[in-house]
């Protein structure tokens, strides 16, 4: 059980590191357009040509023909590691121009193909993941912090304060959160900067989702405050702050960890849904949602399957988080018995 949890945490850490260093892993600027290669299929890597086998992979230049794209075998471009390309800011801080891989111009390596404007889908997938996953993580933190505060206060002090806070919790739980989220975002201004859009998204998503963690935390606190060692400490004059910090918060944290693994993919999906309908992050900034919005056109959906890459990334991320939540829940039950 412990090994499974460690493996899942390592996989998630690798995924988040890949998104954090998207500028280094992505060979192209996600906003750079190449109008000569719209909807180009994923680039094929070759190891063999007329002269035999090669250790270093290479790609052929794509040319548009009457029957679609064709490879021009007269122009081969080796894939170079630590390639010097466009300037970017590593993790948004340090300006760099080195990339993990790339090819010389006029060659192009598009591992996941290109979109309608010729933008590299692989690069946009990495940069878009930064926005979508960051929105899910920040919104989860907001929801858990708000829910933990309300749940601890309601469970520890009880009485009228408990009735008031839990009444508000029941109201939030009765709301169809997805439709409510769409309605709230629709009333917010559309033409704002990407930074403000991201802040609005995370704030709205996070504040809507605090109710369920609040109820769970309240239940834990109600159980913890009646235990003998807590009552004994209180009888010896321990303050409320000491009791919460020493005895109640450690039990609450294990529940919050499990909840975080459940809420992050849910809030990532919320950001993807909003951006898919044009209510989230707008072009040219990439997110998994606005990358998928082009698939609303049936002709694109059935013809260019590689544009489903953000959906596959969303599913993989959600499954990993779900497995981690299940592993954390199993460990919690094991230690509680």
Look up the pTM and report it. Answer: 0.87
3-state secondary structure of 123: helix
Q: Can you tell me the mean pLDDT for 13-42?
A: 91
Q: Is the pLDDT of residue 46 over 60?
A: yes
Burial (0-12, 13-18, 19+ Cβ within 10 Å), 138: buried
More confident residue, 271 or 174: 271
- 315-327 confidence digits (pLDDT tens): 999 999 998 888 8
Q: How far apart are CA 182 and CA 270, in angstroms?
A: 9
The pLDDT of residue 7 is: 87
Bridge partners for 83 per DSSP: 99
The pLDDT of residue 332 is: 67
- 249-283 confidence digits (pLDDT tens): 888 888 888 888 889 999 999 889 888 887 777 77
More confident residue, 226 or 293: 293
The pLDDT of residue 181 is: 67
Q: Which ranges in 21-120 belong to alpha helices (H)? A: 22-25
3-state secondary structure of 46: strand
Most confident region among 3-12, 42-51, 201-210 by mean pLDDT: 42-51
Q: Can you tell me the mean pLDDT for 142-147?
A: 90
Q: Which ranges in 158-248 belong to alpha helices (H)? A: 159-174, 177-187, 194-208, 211-224, 228-235, 240-243
Q: Please spell the DSSP secondary structure of 99-117, one letter per residue.
A: EEEE--TT----TT-B-TT
């Amino acid at each position: 059980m412990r090994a499974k949890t460690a493996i899942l945490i390592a996989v998630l850490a690798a995924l988040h590191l890949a998104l954090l260093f998207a500028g280094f892993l992505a060979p192209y600027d996600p906003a750079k357009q190449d109008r000569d290669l719209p909807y180009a299929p994923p680039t094929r890597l070759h190891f063999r040509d007329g002269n035999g086998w090669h250790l270093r992979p290479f790609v052929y230049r794509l040319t548009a023909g009457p029957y679609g794209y064709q490879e021009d075998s007269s122009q081969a471009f080796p894939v170079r590691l630590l390639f010097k390309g466009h300037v970017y800011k590593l993790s948004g801080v340090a300006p760099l121009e080195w990339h993990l891989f790339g090819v010389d111009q006029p060659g192009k390596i598009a591992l996941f193909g290109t979109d309608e404007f010729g933008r590299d889908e692989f690069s946009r997938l990495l940069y878009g993941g930064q926005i979508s996953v960051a929105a899910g993580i920040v919104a989860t933190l907001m929801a858990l912090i708000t829910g933990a505060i309300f749940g601890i206060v309601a469970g520890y002090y009880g009485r009228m304060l408990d009735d008031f806070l839990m009444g508000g919790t029941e109201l939030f739980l009765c709301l169809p959160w997805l439709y409510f989220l769409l309605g709230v975002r629709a009333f917010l201004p559309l033409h704002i900067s990407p930074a403000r859009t991201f802040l609005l998204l995370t704030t709205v998503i996070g504040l809507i989702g605090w109710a369920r963690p609040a109820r769970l935390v309240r239940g834990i606190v109600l159980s913890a405050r009646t235990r003998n060692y807590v009552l004994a400490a209180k009888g010896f004059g321990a303050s409320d702050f000491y009791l919460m910090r020493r005895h109640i918060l450690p039990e609450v944290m294990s529940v919050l960890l499990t909840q975080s693994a459940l809420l992050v993919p849910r809030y990532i999906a919320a950001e993807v849904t909003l951006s898919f309908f044009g209510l989230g992050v707008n072009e040219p900034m990439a997110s998994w949602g606005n990358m998928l919005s082009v698939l609303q056109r049936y002709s694109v959906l059935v013809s260019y399957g590689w544009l489903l890459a953000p959906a596959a990334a969303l599913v993989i991320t959600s499954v990993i988080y779900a497995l981690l939540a299940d592993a954390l829940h199993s460990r919690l039950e094991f230690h509680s018995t």
